[in-house]
């Protein structure tokens, strides 16, 4: 834990002098977000999040990818409002039950651990939505050594959207145009799509998410020809035609626990695991050029990833008197 925490502290202390320091204000309804939001109301907030995320990484190297994914899946549904954390209760149907999240989204207990620690330090002050944004940033710092300043001040929703989770989050088998459209609906563009997809440089995916590429990509009983057939042969060993749905595979087989640009190098070699990954190289000229750029220039990828993460974190935040500051992230306050 000490090593991971030292990396976090060192990297974050340099943000003010880093090209990844993105300090612009993000305006929401009734207020705005800025990195210093808790400097007076909860000055140890970021330190607490950093410490718990570092401890979690030491125990579970998969956790950084899981926390990045939670933030992404939260922001694409009703904005960055921690709706993904809510359990089903009363009129709320949890987003945890959606197709993108069921049996795959994880890290909920860690977010609750962070929330509990923050409630002990400064009750009813730091939102669950901001915890998700900070934890995603700190996860990236642990595995890259670089990060960005997170605009803060989000508040938490009092509801969830199961239909939004099913319909708004890009799926592994979506076409390029469908995925780009889903990004544009959130105010994101093609550059954001390619750079944020680079988060697949860490993490895992289930057999069920890419099986069709191995056996029946286009409904004709043939594999996806944009997938390296040597790589496909290896994947079939643990992803059969039936069964093994939950078997896990690295999204980046080359450096699965290191946040780097090998994800983009894999795409150029037609070794992207998901169809939604490989189509960035095969279905659009502009995205193909970005893939080639990031494969050649890791710093360009890191810099754009930071910008796109801040941009994504600014999707429709609840600010001012909107929403609430949940005391427990999995339930709205009026449940008590």
Residues 83-98 have pLDDT tens digits of 999 999 989 999 999 9
Any alpha helices (H) in the chain, and if so which ranges?
Answer: 2-13, 45-59, 63-75, 108-121, 128-144, 162-168, 176-185, 190-197, 211-215, 229-236, 262-268, 275-282, 285-296, 298-313
Predicted local distance difference test score (pLDDT) of residue 2: 55
CA distance 323 to 270: 45
Predicted local distance difference test score (pLDDT) of residue 330: 98
Query: Which region holds residue 284: left if phi is over 0, alpha if psi is between -120 and 50, else beta?
Result: beta
CA distance 168 to 165: 6
Pairing label, strands 31-33, 204-206: unpaired
Exactly one of 73, 116, 262, 334 is catalytic; name it.
Answer: 73
CA 9, distance to chain mean position in Å, is 21
| CB contact at 8 A, 28 and 154 | yes
CA distance 157 to 332: 8
Helix 63-75 with 45-59: angle, nearest 10 deg:
130
- Alpha-carbon distances of 14 from 20, 33, 47, 133, 145, rounded to whole Å: 10, 21, 15, 19, 10
DSSP 69-97: HHHHHHHTTTSSSSGGGPPPBTTB--GGG
CA distance 167 to 174: 11
| CB contact at 8 A, 21 and 310 | no
Predicted local distance difference test score (pLDDT) of residue 334: 83
CA distance 151 to 306: 12
Beta bridge partners of 28: 31
CA distance 40 to 14: 21
239 CB-near residues (< 8 Å, 6+ apart): 207, 210, 211, 214, 247, 249
Predicted local distance difference test score (pLDDT) of residue 335: 54
**Chunked in runs of 10, what are the mean pLDDT values of the chain (336 residues)?**
53 45 46 93 98 96 96 98 96 96 95 98 98 97 90 98 97 97 98 98 96 92 94 96 95 94 98 98 98 98 97 96 97 79
Q: Is 73 a catalytic residue?
A: yes
Phi then psi for 255, rounded to 5 degrees?
-135, 70
Closest CA to 117 of 256, 109, 294: 109
CA distance 43 to 64: 24
CA distance 23 to 34: 7
Query: What is this structure's pTM?
Result: 0.91
């Amino acid at each position: 834990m000490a090593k991971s925490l030292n990396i976090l502290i060192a990297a974050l202390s340099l943000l003010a002098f880093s090209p990844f320091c993105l300090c612009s204000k993000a305006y929401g309804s009734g207020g705005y977000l800025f990195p210093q939001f808790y400097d007076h109301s909860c000055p140890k907030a970021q330190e607490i999040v950093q410490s718990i995320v570092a401890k979690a990484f030491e125990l579970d190297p998969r956790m950084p990818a899981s926390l990045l994914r939670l933030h992404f899946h939260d922001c694409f549904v009703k904005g960055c409002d921690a709706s993904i954390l809510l359990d089903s209760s009363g009129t709320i149907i949890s987003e945890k039950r959606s197709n993108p999240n069921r049996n795959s989204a994880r890290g909920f207990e860690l977010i609750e651990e962070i929330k509990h620690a923050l409630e002990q330090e400064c009750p009813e002050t730091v939102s669950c939505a901001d915890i998700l944004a900070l934890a995603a940033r700190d996860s990236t710092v642990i595995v890259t050594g670089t990060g960005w300043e997170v605009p803060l001040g989000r508040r938490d929703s009092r509801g969830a959207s199961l239909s939004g989770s099913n319909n708004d989050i890009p799926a592994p088998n979506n076409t390029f145009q469908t995925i780009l459209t889903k990004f544009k609906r959130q105010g994101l563009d093609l550059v954001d799509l390619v750079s944020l997809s680079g988060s697949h440089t860490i993490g895992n995916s289930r057999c069920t998410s890419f099986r069709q590429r191995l056996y029946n990509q286009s409904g004709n009983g043939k594999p996806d020809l944009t997938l390296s057939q040597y790589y496909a042969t290896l994947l079939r060993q643990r992803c059969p035609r039936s069964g093994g749905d939950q078997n896990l595979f690295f999204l980046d087989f080359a450096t699965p626990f290191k946040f780097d640009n090998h994800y983009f190098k894999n795409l150029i070699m037609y070794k992207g695991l998901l169809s939604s990954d490989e189509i960035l190289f095969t279905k659009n000229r502009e995205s193909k050029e970005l893939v080639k750029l990031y494969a050649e220039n890791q710093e360009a990828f890191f810099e754009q990833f930071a910008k796109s993460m801040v941009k994504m974190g600014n999707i429709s935040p609840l600010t001012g008197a909107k929403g609430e500051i949940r005391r427990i992230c999995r339930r709205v306050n009026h449940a008590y």
